[in-house]
Amino acid sequence: MRMTWLGHSAVHLETAGKSVLIDPFFTGNPKHPKGWEDGLERVDAIVVTHGHEDHTGDTVRLAQKYGATLFAQYEICMWMNGQGVEKVQPMNTGGTVEEGGLAFSMVPAFHSAGIMRDGEPRSMGDPAGFVITGSEGAVYHAGDTCLFSDMKLIQRLYQPKVGFLPVGDRFTMNPSHAAIACNELLELELVVPVHWGTFDLLTGDPRVLEKEVRRGRVHIAEPGVPFEL
């Protein structure tokens, strides 16, 4: 299982012989590693946790470029299908879709999810997290969320080994709340803080998470530098 943080909440996951992008916000992301996409040969799946533009990002362009399948809320899939994404797997919270040796499970997250289009609000379904499970284990990407006690149920149902948890504060959990998730609710082997440092409003410091976590190893990733479980 090989993973690369691409700044903000964008992640590249290579597992079970598949290439998966999660929340691929490249254009306009000051933390995205320049030139990284030049070495990206294939993308089998793109996962979008919710409809905000710092998470939908470059999904349409990348799905068209690589012929990737989009996994997301029904409303996101239908809207992006209308924008030219041909392969979509619309889902909703609690559902699992299996494709290409991976299982994509949509789990709850607590956040907002709408967008403005042509001056009017548009619903993009509910915010979500995802657990992606393959032969090498399960990865939990929490999306944008606060701390909530049912993370314990996510652990029970899907047994993720790796967790990408937001720590930026203001719009998501702060590092101390993410540490509570790790210490009391989740049983992760590897914890990767995301959604921090992209913009000035995201003040959460991942070093606080590293200091407070007592269960699992915290890896403060460098954008574009791959790491493994």
What pLDDT, on the 0 to 100 scale, is given for residue 114?
85
What is the reported pLDDT for 51? 95
Q: Which residues pair with 116 in a beta bridge?
A: 121
pLDDT given at position 115 = 81
Question: What's the token pair of residue 168?
Answer: 């930026």
Q: Residue 224: its pLDDT value, please?
A: 98
pLDDT of residue 187: 98
What does the block give as tokens for 83?
């924008």
Q: In sequence order, which residues have a C-beta less than 8 Å from that of residue 143 and are 6 or more positions away?
A: 9, 23, 49, 50, 55, 109, 111, 127, 128, 129, 130, 166
The CATH number for 2-228, chosen from 3.40.1160.10, 3.30.70.20, 3.60.15.10, 3.30.2000.20, is 3.60.15.10
Q: How far apart are CA 20 and CA 72, in angstroms?
A: 13
Domain ranges, ordered by start, for the chain: 2-228
Q: What is the pLDDT of residue 123?
A: 82
Instruction: Provide the pLDDT for residue 146.
Output: 98
pLDDT at 16: 96
Residue 19, pLDDT score:
98
Query: What are the pLDDT tens digits along the chain (229 aa)?
Result: 999 999 999 999 999 999 999 999 999 999 999 999 999 999 999 999 999 999 999 999 999 999 999 999 999 999 999 999 999 999 999 999 999 999 999 999 999 998 877 777 778 899 999 999 999 999 999 999 999 999 999 999 999 999 999 999 999 999 999 999 999 999 999 999 999 999 999 999 999 999 999 999 999 999 999 999 8
What are the angstrom distances between the C-alpha of 178 and each of 37, 150, 172, 184?
Answer: 30, 13, 10, 10
